[in-house]
Amino acid sequence: MPSRSTKSGTGLEGRIAAVRAFNRFYTQRIGVLGEHHLESPFPLTGVRALYELAHWPEGDDAPTASVLAARLALDEGYLSRILRDFEQRGLVRKRRSAVDARRKALALSGSGRRFFSGLEARSRTAIGAMLGRISVPAQTRLVEHMHGIGELLARDDADRRAPGPGYILRPPGPGDIGWVIHRHGALYAQEYGYDEGFEALVAQIAAQFVQGFDPRRERCWIAERDGAIVGSVFLVSRSKTTAKLRLLLVEPQARGLGIGRRLVDECVRFACSVGYRKLVLWTQSDLYAARHLYTQAGFRRVSQEPHVSFGKKLVAETWALDLRS
């Protein structure tokens, strides 16, 4: 761990020494100093460029090399050499920019998305192994401290595009699946008048996810804000080509922060990255906020059927998103 001798310094010089000591410790601990990051052919800078292309916001114009260089604060010449390597390996494709026909927009190819999905898996495994060496309460404190560092450093960053989201998305931990069941039961009873039959259905879906979980093709995201869980969503496999979005929930006090849209976007991105062709979901016609999110994400209602469930007369709806487009 970083030396505590730096704490003996006073004033700005002491604080500078402490930050430098932590940087040396942490960069070595997470393995970013090697020539080949995450056992890939690329250094950290190349992997970070792939990350930006894989997570470029839906609806935004695809980035040009200049835009990507500015986002990463990299020299354009250096980035162009990285991109040339990506192209030669078939990971990145270029097309004429919709904004400026004289420029080329960048995007990951299908091979690039599959390659990046492997990097993501290795990164999750490495971080999971690091976290596994400490207790769950210590993991929570660590994440809270990291979130605090990000907030403090972003507060005076004049170049940031927008304030930080104020929340994190993470995989489920012990007790989180129980939270999902409890909050669905309580919240849907409070807001929509659903009876205990709905909570039973959620418990069944959650149990099936845990018992049959396929880490290569399925995911659960837990949204956390200020140390408290405020949302969740699941992506489960229905077939080789079709995935299903399930159990989307955002707590009332966390609505308006973009959490629901982000959870849906993560499902879409992951489904694309592992090769699904279609993403479907089942919802009810009275869940207006959720239906609005699905419409924004490109889903379209493909069927509806009246039924009596959860103590109410409802209209069930099936929605679908063609991932090939």
Question: Which residue stretches of 11-135 are H helix?
Answer: 11-29, 44-54, 65-72, 76-88, 110-132
pTM of the model: 0.52
Which residues, including other chains, have CB under 8 Å from residue 65's CB and lie 6 or more apart?
76, 79, 80, 83, 104, 106
Q: Please provide the CATH number assigned to the domain covering 31-129.
A: 1.10.10.10
Compute the distance between CA of residue 56 and CA of residue 50 in angstroms, rounded to an integer: 10
pLDDT tens, residue order, the chain (325 aa): 554 444 445 577 878 888 888 888 877 777 666 666 777 888 888 888 888 888 876 555 678 888 888 878 888 888 888 899 989 999 998 887 665 556 778 889 999 899 988 888 888 888 888 888 888 888 878 877 776 776 666 555 433 444 445 789 999 999 999 999 999 999 999 989 999 999 999 999 999 999 999 999 999 999 999 889 999 999 999 999 999 999 999 999 888 888 999 999 999 999 999 999 999 999 999 898 899 999 999 999 999 999 999 999 999 999 999 998 7
Architecture of domain 166-322: 3-Layer(aba) Sandwich (3.40)
Is residue 261 a contact partner of residue 267, using CB atoms and an 8 Å limit?
no
Domain residue spans of the chain: 31-129, 134-164, 166-322
DSSP assignment string, 32-62: -SSSSGGGSSS-HHHHHHHHHHHTPPTTSPP
Residues contacting residue 267 through CB under 8 Å, at least 6 positions apart: 219, 221, 233, 235, 243, 245, 279
Same fold across 31-129 and 166-322? no
